Copies of this chain bind each other. A is one copy, B any other.
């Protein structure tokens, strides 16, 4: 007898942003694999077991979860945000692809969630209102030259850019270099949003022009959104500014 393998996203933080579908999957599983702070977001029953592991051990975690599921346990792999965006759904697929044939015969259920850039965008207006991209700035899993080439091309394409994993203790300089590259393509006034912990009690939203964008504002809980040349700021007396990207591009403003 095989178990079901659920891969769920908790949303950006607060329980108010986790879907009923994901909560339902959580209620059905008995063993939970994930990074500790994400597991902390769940309210588990006494008969449900946590197996917490380090943030960097995604493939090991996926393999352990698949092995338990293959032995008949209903397992839940937990990501923050959406499990399909720079998270555990891909790690589980990688493990299946390279693993024993019986892992292909498991019931795999991935439930989507609200990913960080959407939560940040909602708190500040609508910066992702037109074409945009999501790029991980971590060079643990890809060469830095791939990242810098991608940044140049998407900025030239006019896309708004959401940067995931912008900075960490082990990667302190990459975000500053990314801003330097983008300054060669985008106007100095382009809005940069540092969206920290969107939807959580320690949320902090900071907006500054690209010319002054300071990498030190970001930490591991930050999603950085860099506007396009068309992204606009609406000043609101007594209220935070709104930042949005119009839905339209006229023939003259390409």
- Residues of A at the B interface (CB closer than 8 Å) are 11-12, 14-21, 24, 58, 82-87, 89-94, 96-97, 104-105, 108, 110-115, 118-119, 121-123, 125-136, 141-143, 145-146, 149-150, 153-154, 156-159, 199, 232, 234-239, 242, 244-249, 251, 254
Contacts and interface: CB of A to CB of B under 8 A. Distances in A.
Contacts of A104: 234-237, 239
A199 B149 CA distance: 36
For the complex of A and B, the 5 pairs showing the least CB-CB separation, nearest first, are A90-B129, A93-B244, A133-B133, A89-B126, A142-B249
How often does this chain occur in the complex, in copies? 2
A143 B248 CA distance: 9
B129 A86 contact: yes
Contacts of A236: 104-105
Q: Is the interface of A mostly helix, strand, loop or mixed?
A: mixed
A92 B239 contact: no
A197 B91 CA distance: 26
A203 B239 CA distance: 42
B232 A97 contact: yes
B105 A239 contact: yes
B158 A150 contact: yes
B135 A131 contact: yes
A5 to B, nearest CB: 12
Nearest to A141: B248
Given A96-B234, A146-B249, A112 B105 contact: no
Contact of A84 (B112, B129, B199): B129
A17 B19 CA distance: 5
Contact of A131 (B110, B150, B237): B150
A116 to B, nearest CB: 10
A188 to B, nearest CB: 21
A251 B58 contact: no
Contact of A114 (B19, B90, B142, B158): B19
